[in-house]
Amino acid sequence: MKITYSQKENIESIASEHQFGLRFYETPKNELAYIQDINNSTLNVLSLFSGCGGMDLGFEGDFTVLASSINEKLTPHFIDYKIDEKFIKLTKTRFRTVFANDIFSDARNAWINYFSKKGYNHDIFHSDSIVDLVKMHKGGIKVFPDNIDLVTGGFPCQDFSIAGKRNGFESHKNHKGQLVSMTDATTETRGQLYMWMKEVIEITKPKIFIAENVKGLVNLKNVKDIIQHDFSSAGENGYLVLEPRVLHAANYGVPQSRERVIFIGIKKSALNKDALKELEKEIISDKYSPYPQPTHSFTAQGPELKGYVKLSEIFNLLSEPENTDDLSQKFYSKAKYMGAHCQGQTEIKLNGIGPTIRSEHHGNIEFRRLSKENGGKLIDELNAGLSERRLTPRECALIQTFPMDYDFVIEKKGGRRGSYLVSPSQAYKVIGNAVPPLLAFNLAKRLETVWSLYFKNEL
């Protein structure tokens, strides 16, 4: 969809508005007409902890990725059309986001700026915390839409991350991200917000829910088992929660070392008898498994898998920051090299995959290249006069598989010089917090495949 200048100004105006609490869920007339027009095969998605929309974008498809990120032999149905030798357009899926939510204003601004171009009404995005949303619903306010097929949510991961303090359930930040002084954590603190996702599942009764978090969660005491048990109890034990699986993004065409644990819950009463019988088995057959099979070989092996995507394939497409008008490529962290003993002080390997893109910024963003004095190995680039610098937001976004037309550094039009809807430092944060869209797309396409196998009277 081509966007006019006046439309762009309107999007920026919407994104810059302060959102005073919940916009109560009353479907706008123009949005209602649009939803009624959608083919009956559309599957409605309620997205929680949405961030800038990595999971949302992946579940809808219809975005551009590197051609090398798609295994055309194993997954030709992923491809809508070939743009050129470097890029392909992914097909659109059956999934459609009807509700998105995050408390961080920068994530909201980035989400609205991008998804408005795809025809979304900005009222779909809600900035209240999940705790407040559930409390409002219980207070009699219509918060969540009806007819939800799928709930997704990457509940906050900082408390389970290897890179973080590993507080787990004992987080001392609340559901709004604020520090709390209490001695004991509660269900309203950040490490236990998955319990409020469970409440949304009980309210909306989707056929499937997907919860996503960092790999570190599975190694933290018995956290995985507790979360799996808690999700299973949703709707009076109405969901079959499968054994969670750790997916390495590089095995799905994402040029990044990123491992995520995926919990999938399926509504028992919606399943047909054969599917319920298969999914209750200790070992689920490939035919019925909702988890996608790898398409690329990083930690996975197989004769039909493509080689992992190398960073050189991304960076060969980009100009240096001083030679571009793309704000997401133009700016980068100026934090100085602090020594190899510190996090985020390594140089990327052009013939390898990228590091895990973290939500921190400045000194934790890896280097695109280091100087010879600091151990840089990209001698040809240094000899060509290219200087030491850290990765740009655009480079981080491409490593995450966001498309080139997704803007992350967004200026505030008409504001003071240097004012932003999303600043460069906050762009790093929202990118690092996101699910790689291509990983989410692999999940979405797998669920499309098994949907009619699982459920009664489905297309």
Q: With CA atoms as reference, report the closest residue to 398 among 390, 388, 389, 408.
A: 408
Contact 348, 395 (CB under 8 A): no
342 catalytic, yes or no? no
Look at residue 154 in the predicted model and tell me its pLDDT: 87
- pLDDT for 102 equals 96
Contact predicate 192/169, CB 8 Å = yes
Edge-to-edge, what's the strand order for the sheet holding 79-82? 64-66, 87-90, 79-82
Please report where in the chains the tokens 């939803």 appear, as a residue.
35
Q: What is the pLDDT of residue 231?
A: 84
- Residue 221 DSSP code: T
Q: Which residues of the chain have pLDDT under 50?
A: 1-8, 18-39, 158-169, 171-186, 188-191
Q: Which one-letter amino acid corresponds to residue 48?
A: L
**Per-residue pLDDT, 221:** 63
For 170-207, give one letter per residue: b (16+ CB within 10 A) or e: ebbbbbeeeebeeeebeebbbbbbbbbbbbbbebbbbb
Question: Among all chains, which residue has been given the structure tokens 């027009």?
Answer: 37
User: What is the reported pLDDT for 232?
Assistant: 82
Neighbouring C-beta atoms of residue 283, cutoff 10 Å: 6
pLDDT of amino acid 214: 80
- Paired with 174 in beta bridges are 189
252 Cβ contact partners less than 8 Å away, ≥ 6 residues apart:
292, 294, 295, 296, 438, 439, 442
The pLDDT, as a whole number, for residue 245 is 94
For the stretch 192-239, pLDDT in tens is 788 899 999 999 999 999 999 888 777 766 777 888 888 888 878 899
List pLDDT tens digits, range 57-114: 999 999 999 999 999 999 999 999 999 999 999 999 999 999 999 999 999 999 999 9
Which residue, among 375, 399, 446, 417, has the nearest Cα to 61 in the 3D structure?
Answer: 446
Report the mean per-residue pLDDT for the chain: 85
Catalytic residue among 52, 157, 342, 396: 157
CA-to-CA dists, residue 195 to 51, 175, 186, 199, 269, angstroms: 19, 11, 11, 6, 22
Q: Residue 365 has which token pair?
A: 């963003």
Look at residue 386 in the predicted model and tell me its pLDDT: 97
Partnered with residue 61 across adjacent β-strands are: 92
* Residues pairing with 179 in the sheet: 173
Q: What is the pLDDT of residue 21?
A: 41
Q: Is the pTM of this model over 0.85?
A: yes
Q: What is the pLDDT of residue 169?
A: 42
Going from the N-terminus, what domains does the chain have, and what CATH number goes with each?
A: 5-155+193-303+435-454 (3.40.50.150), 311-432 (3.90.120)
- The label of the residue with tokens 């993004």 reads 249
pLDDT at 11: 52
